[in-house]
Amino acid sequence: MQTQEKRTYQAVIGLEFHVHLATRTKMFCGCRVAYGDEPNTHTCPVCLGHPGALPFTNEKAVELGVMAGLALNCEVASRAVFARKNYFYPDLPKGYQISQFDAPICTGGYLDVPVPEGTVRVGITRVHLEEDAAKNVHVGESGRMHGSVGSLVDFNRGGTPLIEIVTEPDIPSPEAARATANHLKAILQAIGVSEADMEKGQLRCDANVSIRKPDGSFGIKTELKNMNSFRYVERGLTRELERQQGILEEGGRVTQATVHYDPVADEVHELRSKEEAHDYRYFPEPDLLPLELTAAWVQEIKSRLPELPEERKARFIKQYGLSEYDAGVLTADAELAGFYEKVAAEADPKQAANWTTGELQALLNEAGIGIPESKVEPGHLTELIRLVEKGTVSRSAAKDVLGFVFETGDAPSAVVEREGLASMGGDELSGTVDEVIVANPAEAGRVRDGDKKVIGFLVGQVMKATRGGADGGRVRQLLMEKLDGQ
């Protein structure tokens, strides 16, 4: 939305996350949680919904769910109840999903999300435990159920432990929604609750979005689905808000609907849903006893909770003397923060932060990858910072060096040698300075006569001759020495 329009229409966004928990086994049976294996190799009567089979709760999943709730500043329930969510679908072998309804494990938390303008506090409505559905595979050209020749079901995913995290509709913009998602992901990874790999489907995000009208009244919300990256969350929300605003400006009414974002066309499509009024007929799962979560147990988990991004950020500011912003950027991504700490252990922390949040981050963004996929190792950056400090390479040449390292994964020193990017030092630079003095006698004369303003021109000439391979300060010093001494 444009700034102009913000004054009149206000986005109201709430997010809903489904997060696979990092357990070894499934939510209600002993089958392994595995990704990418041969279909239907991790199944048993329980997760296949065979008659007579009964669920038993994975305690580790409960623990991880509680950890997530604690990290999101939630209240942990002393008694949580599993409930059945009833609906028919081939990927749902029991005809119901075991979830939680009116007594979830955690409620009432918040998340302080760093955004360029400061912080947005996003309320966390609830965190609840549930099992994932299996995966339908549609055989045929379209790859979707409609128009397919047949459908197969892979039950390997069925029963994978999940938490659903629901935020309050506190998020003011698509940018803030993306930041919220990123920040949440960082937290979940930092505390080891989930690997949160979106490509593996370990983290999924839906959004509820509406527009508050100029008169302050709330609009009808739509549900935006099918966003398999946070970039799409931002873009999808932007498109959907544009769509809703367009309807309102033409005097129309937004209708409650599910909307899909098509990233290829960069468009949103309203789905005509026949199952508009879904009644899931929730009721307490009679096959499972309520979870009794004692205060002592919750306290014990709290004491084992690893450092959260906020805590890490505060530590970065204190320990490394970083700015609020730099510390925020670094700790928003657990991988990036870990990378930074390794660099900062061996090199000047401020330089390490500048390089990590600056050039390296820019390269990562451009390539659309994260630290784990990058060829740049912490040792590379440490070495590069040292080379600059020693004057072996100039600051500007070092950026090029990093570019080569990013592409090849070669050590900076090897890149410097191969690409001839070393700063000119000693005799060679002195020779070039001499050549510039000879080539520009008029300007050199004026400097000799005390007109120091002209020296900048000569420095520029030297830099040009060395193609940026010299340190500007060193050049200036050499020029002064040579012209003063004569």
Partner 1 sequence: MAEDSRSELLSLSAYELAKKIEAREVSATEAARTANARVEEVEGDVNSFVTTTPQLALERAERVDARMKNGGIKLWESVPIAVKDVLSTKGVRTTCGSNILYNFEPLYDASALLNYGEDMIVVGKANCDEFAMGSSTENSAYGPSRNPWDLDRVPGGSSGGSASAVAAGEGWWALGTDTGGSVRQPAALCGIVGLKPTYGRVSRYGLIAFASSLDQIGPMTRDVRDSALLLQAIAGHDPRDSTSANVAVPDYLAELEGGVSGLRVGVVKELMGEGVQPGTRETVESVVRGLEGAGAEVGEVSLPHSRYGLPAYYIIAPAEVSSNLARFDGVRYGLRVPAAGVHEMYRKTREEGFGDEAKRRIMLGTYALSSGYYDAYYAQAQKVRTKIIEDFRDAFSRYDVLVSPTSPTVAFEIGSKINDPLAMYLSDICAVPVNLAGIPSISVPGGLSEGLPVGVQLMSDHFTEPTLLRAARATEQVSDFKFTLKP
The Cβ of residue 325 has, within 10 Å, a number of other Cβ atoms equal to 13
Answer with the entry of Zn ion, partner 1, none that 265 interacts with (C-beta below 5 to 8 A by kind): none
Q: How far is the CB of 18 from Zn ion (least distance, A)?
A: 20
In sequence order, what E strands does 263-405 have?
267-271, 283-284, 291-292
Choose the one of Zn ion, partner 1, none that binds residue 31, judging by a C-beta under 5 to 8 angstroms depending on kind: Zn ion
CA separation for the pair 397, 405 (Å, rounded): 13
CA angle at residue 181 from 176 to 182, to 5 degrees?
Answer: 95
From 115-123, 243-251, 275-283, 349-357, span contacting partner 1 (CB under 8 A):
275-283
Q: What does 279 interact with, of partner 1, Zn ion, none (CB < 5 to 8 A by kind)? A: partner 1
Per CB under 8 A, the list member of 34, 54, 139, 220 interacting with partner 1 is: 54
Given the rule CB under 8 A, which of 89-97, 323-331, 349-357, 465-473 is the region that contacts partner 1? 89-97
CA distance 407 to 430: 34
Residues that bind Zn ion (CB under 5 A): 29, 31, 44, 46-47
- Contact between 95 and partner 1 by CB under 8 A: the answer reads yes
45 binds, among Zn ion, partner 1, none (CB under 5 to 8 A by kind): partner 1
- The two tokens of residue 268 are 């949103």
Question: Smallest distance from the beta carbon of 147 to partner 1, in angstroms?
Answer: 12
Separation CA 384–CA 404 (nearest Å): 12
Report the residue number, 45 or 456, with the smaller CB distance to Zn ion: 45
- Min dist CB 50 to partner 1, Å, is 6
* List 144, 281, 302, 304, residue binding partner 1 (CB under 8 A): 281
Dihedral sign of CA atoms 428, 430, 435, 440 in order? positive
**Binder of residue 247, out of Zn ion, partner 1, none (CB less than 5 to 8 A by kind):** none
Smaller CB distance to partner 1: residue 45 or 372?
45
Please identify, among the stretches 244-252, 283-291, 376-384, 407-415, the one whose residues bind partner 1 according to the rule CB under 8 A: 283-291
Angle, helix 174-190 to helix 230-249, in steps of 10 degrees:
150
Count CB-CB contacts under 10 A for residue 212: 16
Regarding 168 and contact with partner 1 (CB under 8 A), the answer is no
Footprint on residues 13-52 left by partner 1 (CB under 8 A): 45, 48-52
- Residue 162 binds what, of partner 1, Zn ion, none (CB under 5 to 8 Å, by partner type)? none
Residue 47 site contact among partner 1, Zn ion, none (CB < 5 to 8 Å, cut-off depends on kind)? Zn ion
Asked if residue 84 binds partner 1 (CB under 8 A), the reply is yes
> At a CB cut-off of 8 Å and minimum separation 6, what does 80 contact?
100, 103, 104, 105, 128, 129, 290, 291, 293
Shortest Cβ 122–partner 1 spacing (Å): 29
| 3 state DSSP class of 414 | helix
Residue 107 makes CB contacts below 8 A (sequence gap 6+) with: 74, 75, 77, 125, 126, 127
Q: Which two tokens stand for residue 182?
A: 């990123």
Query: Of Zn ion, partner 1, none, which one sits near residue 258, judging by CB under 5 to 8 A according to partner kind?
Result: none
> What burial letters (b/e) apply to 347-381, b meaning 16+ CB within 10 Å?
bbbebbbbbbbebbbebbeeeeeebeebebebebb
Is the distance from CB of 180 to CB of 122 less than 8 angstroms?
yes
Identity of the residue numbered 412: P
Taking the complex as a whole, how short is the minimal distance between the CB of residue 224 and partner 1, in angstroms? Answer: 24
Closer to Zn ion at the Cβ: 56 or 218? 56
Does 151 bind partner 1 (CB under 8 A)? Our answer is yes
Q: According to CB under 8 A, which one of 6, 75, 90, 452 is a site residue for partner 1? A: 90
Angle among Cα 32, 23, 315 to the nearest 5 degrees reads 155
**How far is it, in rounded angstroms, from Cα 79 to Cα 291?**
5
Regarding 103 and contact with partner 1 (CB under 8 A), the answer is no
Give the separation between CA 184 and CA 165, rounded to whole angstroms: 10
Residue 420 interface partner, choices Zn ion, partner 1, none, CB cut-off 5-8 Å depending on type: none
Residue ranges in contact with partner 1 by CB under 8 A:
45, 48-57, 84, 86, 88, 90, 93-96, 145, 151, 153, 279, 281-283, 286-289
